[in-house]
Structure 1
Amino acid sequence: MKAAILTLSDRCSTGERADGSGPALKSWLEERGVSVTCTEVIPDEAPLISEKLVEWSDSGAYDLILTTGGTGVSPRDVTPEATERVVDRLLPGFGEVMRMESLKKTPHAIISRAVAGIRKNTLIINLPGSPKGATENIGFVWAAVPHTVAKLQGDPEECGTPMPS
């Protein structure tokens, strides 16, 4: 599986703060055999986010795109809207599971607006902006990611097969 990671942060994009989430996600994915071939940091600007998601998805180079940051309720948190503008289909179960599992750890999980969806043959998942939140949340949904990617690539296997524990 090939992946790209897009960090959304005004401060990280200007060098005011180091990106911790992108590198944490890259390590997490590589530990699971995923090839992370592209990472980038851009500001919290919906048009830039949408443009990058379209560029990466339409290139066919990535099976999975993870975004980190911009999923809360601050005025500059626009990642879900930017993602919804460009996906062909939403996959609400990813966000539902991430919120449900995160709620077991913090009451603030209820304000996460993270979404997931499909553009072309690429799975896009929004994750929180903190390294801990990003890696925990991808962990909550990871069991479904390889299956989803396989289905997007035309795998004819039945979907009723139980997920590994």
Structure 2
Amino acid sequence: MVHHVTHRSVNCMVITISDTRTKDTDKSGRLMMEFLEQSGHHVEAAEIVPDESAAIQEMIKIGSENPAVDVILTNGGTGISFRDVTIETVKSMLDKEMTGFGEIFRMLSYQEDIGSAAILSRAIAGVISHTAIFATPGSSGAVKLAMEKLILPELSHVVQEITKDLDKH
């Protein structure tokens, strides 16, 4: 079943979560921004924060409370090592989770790319207030896969769904 949604440009915030990346070495953050801009979306803000729950939470809060930001996209900090806290941090902030995002992301990763190592792959998406959030792994392969196959095809639709009740209040 295909839903025909008017493509609408959405305003995005890109957050790279890493203890080591800088503006110069943030390949995945740059890739996300390129994908968004090539698809007619606008990057309102781009930030790099350390792999620390409080820092991630604060940046997501800033993005979700900014009326100019429709969608927050994060990359990095999603692994299973001790320092990786993105998934737990984002999950604790969600009003609604889009469970299909992580499920399909792992299925595609398994099929296209990494085989059984997909069980280590963590990704999450959902809604915080009236802002969508997508958290992907930090590798450029993961970002490319998530952007091309899942995020960009549904970005306008997701924003339309989470904002359609706003003018009724």
Quote the residue 1:6 is aligned against.
15
Q: Name the aligned partner's letter for residue 148 of structure 1.
A: V
TM-score (norm 1): 0.87
Matched, 1:67 2:74: yes
- Asked if the contact 1:66/1:126 (under 8 Å) is kept, the reply is yes
User: What do residues 48-82 of structure 1 show as CA deviations (whole Å, max 9, x unaligned)?
Assistant: 10111111101222111100001111111110011
Matched, 1:106 2:131: no
Quote the residue 1:163 is aligned against.
none
TM-score (norm 2): 0.85
Runs of 4 or more off by more than 4 Å in structure 1?
none
Question: What is the aligned residue count?
Answer: 153
Show structure 2 runs of 5+ residues with no match.
Answer: 1-9
Quote the residue 1:150 is aligned against.
160
Q: Name the aligned partner's letter for residue 131 of structure 1.
A: S
Quote the residue 1:54 is aligned against.
61
CA distance in 2, matches of 1:47, 1:133: 25
- Asked if the contact 1:102/1:137 (under 8 Å) is kept, the reply is no
Quote the residue 2:7 is aligned against.
none
Question: Match of 1:11, SS?
Answer: coil
CA distance in 1, matches of 2:136, 2:99: 13
Map 1:19-34 → 2, pairs under 5 A? 19-34=26-41
CA distance in 2, matches of 1:151, 1:81: 25
Over aligned residues, Cα RMSD in angstroms?
A: 1.5
- Asked if the contact 2:122/2:136 (under 8 Å) is kept, the reply is no
Deviation at 1:132, TM superposition (A): 2.2
User: What do residues 79-131 of structure 1 show as CA deviations (whole Å, max 9, x unaligned)?
Assistant: 00110121111111111111111111112222112111101111100111012
Show structure 1 runs of 5+ residues with no match.
Answer: 156-165
CA distance in 2, matches of 1:138, 1:77: 21
